[in-house]
Structures are given as C-alpha cells and as structure tokens.
Copies of this chain bind each other. A is one copy, B any other.
C-alpha cells in the first residue's frame, strides 16, 4: 500500500505512509538525485570495478502528523477501526484518507486527510488534516512533525555496507523554529549533500487552541491542542517544502525552502488543489487510454500511466529511478529501462518531462567518457546503474557488459526527435550523445576476416545469457546508433566539426552498420538471440520442481549456458527493430522464444504482449498485458513493497497502444493497425505527435483517427499501411483488418503461463483498499 499510494512529482516523492506514521513497513520521503555513498566490496576484485556505490536516502519526513484523542494515541492497531478508506485520485492527483475510529477508552472520532505532492510547486507537498469527534467531546492533540534519520529500510540485497550507509545518514546542520513551523538542515555524511526541509501550518479551529513549535537536531514539532465537541472539526493545513544541493550554501538552501513555503502559503490549499487538477486535466486530455470490456485493465492502465507521469513530471535534470520515488528498491538507481520503456511513453504524453530526462543523461557525458576510457574504449559508456552518473554496478557480466544501454539511450534521443518534431534537443545535446555512443560501438565491434562486423563479449537484455557474441538486439541497435550518428552529423555539420567527426569516421560508421552480423539458424528457421544460442542445452523445465525466479534457485553458470531466457531479448529486437524481420521471422522466432522465456524480469511481459499481438495471438497478448499492468496492483513480482515497477507500468501502456493499437513510428510518421481481442470491445488512446494531439479509437469493426488539437494542415499518418490525412473536425475511419496468426499460440515454460485475464473489478478495489 505504501508503494501504491506513493505521491511524487518526479522531484519529491512520498511513500503512502499513514499520516500518523504507524503501522509502517518503510518510511519514505525521497528527493530525486539525493544519495549517499557506500563502499562496493569484492572478495576478488578486478580492474575497472566500481568501488563506490550510491544509494537513495530517506530524507526528513514531513508527512508525519500524530494525533492524540484524550491522551490516547490514534493508532489503528489499537481501539476499533470502524471504517478506513484511502483513495488515490488519478484525476485530482491527491491521496485521500477517511478513518472512523473508536479509541480504547471508547471515544469515536473521524480523521480525514488529503495529501498532495504538487505538480506545479516543485518543492512543495501539502496535507489537509481534519479531526472530528463523533459521540462526545474530546481533547485533541495534533503533533505535526519533521523527522530525520528514521529507522532505515531493510535493504533488499542485504548488503551490510548499504545498511551501514543508511544508518543515521543525515548529520544535523541547523534547526530553526519559524513563525508557523520549522526548518531543519542536514548533510549526508559521505556524499556531503545538503538537504533542507521545512513546514508551516494553517490552523482552523472553532475554539481557542494552543500551538507550540519546537526543533531539535533530528526533529521539529508543531503541537496543536484543543477540545472539540461532537461535529466540530480541527483543520490543519500543513505545507512541507524541500530543497537539496551539493553546491549551494546552507543559507541559500534555507532561504530557498522558506521561499517555497511562503509561496505555497500565499497560494493556499484550495489553489494547490486546483492547480494540481488543472495540470492533470491537461495531461489526461492528451494521454488518456480507454479500454471497454475490461474494467480491471482500464483501471490498471490509468494507474500505470499516472505513475509514469509522477516519475518524470518534474525530475528536471535528475535521473528517473527504476522505482522512481516510491521506494528504495535497486537503491534508487536508474537503468536502461528508463530510456527504453519509460521515455517513449513520456515522449508521447508529457514530452517536456522526456526532454528533461534526456538532458540529465547528456549531462553525464563526461563521466561516461571517463568510464569508456577506463574500459579501454572510445566515446562514452553510460553506466548500467547509477544515481549521479558514475557506474555503480558491481557484477560486470550483468552490468558493464550490457553495452546495449548506450544504443537505447541513443534511440531515446531519436525517438524524442522523430515523435515531437523538435530538433532543438538534438542540437543542444542529442547529437553529441549519438556521436559519442557511435564511437563507443566502433571500439566495441570489429570486422572479421570476411568483412562482417561483430560485437563480441557483451550482454544483451536477457540477463540469463551473458558475455556472449553478436547478440541480435545489441547488434541491430548498435547499427541503428551508428546510422543515427551519421545522420545527425549530416543534419548538423557544425556540431560534427566541433566533435571532430570527419568523413572517414562517418564512412566507418556506415560500413560497420551495413556489415553488421545477424546470426541466423537456417536449420531451425529462427534467429539465435546470440551466436550459438540455439545450440545451447535446454533448461529442464520438466523436473516438476522448477522454482521461480530461477536466479534465486540456480547459479548464473547454469543459466548462462542454457536456452533459458529471463526476459524478452530477441523478441524485444523484433519490437524495436521490427523492420529487420519478416512476418514469418516474427512468427517463428516468437514461437521459439515463448517456449524458453521465464519472465523473471518485470520487463518482459509488456514486450511479449506487443509481439504476440503483432503476430496475431491476441488472447495471449491480453494475458501478458494484464501481467504488465497489474505488476504492482497485484504484487506479481512479490517486491512491490520496495517500490513500483515504473518501466513495467510504462510497458503496460506500450503493450496496449503498440500491441492492440498496433502503433509504430516509421521515420517521422505515426502508424496504427489496431486489432482487439474478443473481450475488449473498444480501445481509445491519445498521443502527442509533433505537437498535435491525436486520438485513435478502435472497435472490432472500425478504427477512427481524430485530431484533438493541432495545426490547420492536419496530420498525415498510416492506418494499416494506408496513408491518411487527419484534419481537425475531419476524423478518418477505416474498417479493421484482422490479423491471422501463421502459427498456433505457443506454450510457455512450466508454471509461466500468463494468468488468464481477470474480470472482477472488485479485486482491484480490494487490493487497493
């Protein structure tokens, strides 16, 4: 619940902890980019191994509002909970809570709160808190707090060094009691980052009340005490503001937080709520997805899209973590899945946020160049996992060796440019990223004696096969990276000159891309995901004891040498580089890999959904879509407590839009080819394309494309390979074309059949209660 009810604007995130702090699984308040160092230990080290880790820090908790009713603490573990409801309102951008409770002494009260992390005031969160006695007078004490150095979370991999770094991570710098609250400053002990947290309060009470403000090193407290009659309410609006910096002075940071509080108080609660809704109305207006006939999926996809927005909306120059700001899983690190899965969704729904995330990546180019040099490579090698930009992956076969990340970053820049039509980011930093990653690929690959270009000894998306040769996904993406770099130099000759790119270098890029080796097993008629893969031994799924995820029950050694696939790899290549495969390739390859893919990563179901839909296995696609969309609402990976799976959430949108909607981008043209499974009666989705909002609406019979906003010339797009022009007020409708599969729907490994699509919307409500 704490992860599912997390609120964030991409800069400030708050887990859905209860107002009163307990019962709690993990307290969590996070600031994007704010981290502590910890040592990375190796029993057997190696050259180039990162020595310093980075881990997200739970900063000063500003959510906490404790309540005492007649001197008894309001705690749902004691007394009697008559009713309790929490509502995450995706349209309002708020978390509402209403609890009716009878104290152990028998006093009945209702507590209502509404919490928001402002999408319009980046540094600010606010809470409206009301308490009302029901059956008699009550003395009510409200303690609103800031608390630093709360009990640290349990770290998922149990590394005692990370735990040590998170034990009292914040050294107190200063405490100031202000007129209506307090400001606390702390500094991380090793990374030396300064954080300021402040609160102020607006109190409404029908009677006289008393207020006290106190501050100590690790806490500040505003206490309100009064006596209420039944039906009377004490209302406290608490504004909370945060700031952090590695460079600004203490004084500057204190002022910054004070200003944010002033600004929020000046706007007032109603205005914060109104602005929040307006921001989201704008978002949903061009991004909403409607799925008729499957209410669970409808709710889940909207939840997913809301979380993707929360992850990126105001990150502004900081990395988006794999869990965004919803928990400490993966230590708060960002991975390739942000560029690969999250940004393509943001590009089409909140392109400004996508541009900011890409700017963050580009801002780490110097670190990436240094990393490449350490590895004996040219250009720039972006880190497999990081918060600030340094490589912090401690197991290189599934970290540093996964160089495909760099081509995925390059793709994200191109995706942004082609989808938005905005060339400015390319000129600002994208071209440089494309050139430096192209240089990386040239130093990674080589031409063999017959001229073919190989990339050897790398790891592809499937982490159950590592340090292998000619991974199809990697090679195709590398070739595209090289071509994109060549093209941007063509577009931006001045930048090419500034980066020292000459004709010979560009010719070498084109030659490598043209000669890229793509292994193919002619005997089986399928692509091995890497050289030799289809000749590996098979995993024994039939021993009746297969336990998942395999990596917790079998050594890497066994996983690596068998035909067992953790997550879509060749199948992902068929999605992202679809033009490189024939329809028959896609059908045969999908059939081959479906039987061997165990989906031990949450980043697989969404891609399998897209490709199953493309080859015509619509019911299987539907099942995978449920798995992707419900990964957190149903806790399908068993670790939602560590934070949400943002990339899978984004993938759910992609599975729906690219899968059932058949959406692809070809160059600068949007293409759709909807096909719905029997149980979905209607699908409508909206995307932004070159600044225009377009809606695609499909039933089993016809598809209609409508321009919601845009210029007068309208938008040229493809519907089932037919080019159409969609103008404002002139929707285009075409009959649906069915997809007939070439092969029957394939089976999955034992125990890994996706669950059949559920039909009970209450189960969602229950899981979210």
Contacts and interface: CB of A to CB of B under 8 A. Distances in A.
Interface in A367-402: 374-377, 393-401
A401 B555 CA distance: 10
Given A44-B393, A394-B43, A561 B457 contact: yes
A523 B47 contact: no
Contacts of A393: 44
A47 B394 contact: no
Interface stretch (A528-536, A569-577, A690-698): A528-536
A554 B376 CA distance: 7
Contacts of A44: 157, 393-395, 398-399
B401 A47 contact: no
A451 to B, nearest CB: 12
Interface string A40-74: 11111111100001000000000000000000000
A454 B551 contact: no
A537 B43 CA distance: 30
A446 interface: yes
A560 interface: yes
A266 interface: no
A180 interface: no
A191 interface: no
Given A41-B42, A44-B157, A535-B448, A557 B375 contact: yes
A420 interface: no
Interface residues of A, number: 53
A541 interface: no
A46 B396 contact: no
Contacts of A397: 397, 467
This chain: copies in complex: 2
Interface string A439-451: 0000000101100
A47 B375 contact: no
Interface in A550-591: 551-558, 560-562
Contacts of A558: 375-377
A401 B557 CA distance: 7
A43 B47 contact: no
Nearest to A398: B44
Interface string A445-479: 01011000010111000000011010000000000
A555 B47 contact: yes
B557 A523 contact: no
Contacts of A161: 41, 43
A505 interface: no
A456 B400 contact: no
A598 to B, nearest CB: 15
Nearest to A452: B535
A555 B48 contact: yes
A428 interface: no
Contacts of A42: 41-43, 394-395
A458 B555 CA distance: 13
Contacts of A467: 397, 466-467, 557, 560-561
Contacts of A531: 532
A159 interface: yes
Given A448-B535, A536-B456, A47 B552 contact: yes
Contact of A561 (B456, B532, B551, B561): B456
A558 B400 CA distance: 11
The 4 closest A-B pairs by CB, nearest first: A457-B561, A43-B394, A48-B555, A41-B41
Interface of A: 40-48, 53, 157, 159, 161, 374-377, 393-401, 446, 448-449, 454, 456-458, 466-467, 469, 523, 531-532, 535-537, 551-558, 560-562
Given A40-B43, A397-B467, 12 more contacts: A42-B395, A43-B395, A44-B157, A44-B393, A44-B394, A46-B555, A376-B555, A400-B555, A446-B537, A449-B523, A456-B532, A457-B560
13 contacts: A45-B157, A47-B551, A47-B553, A48-B554, A375-B558, A377-B558, A448-B535, A456-B536, A457-B536, A466-B467, A467-B557, A467-B560, A467-B561
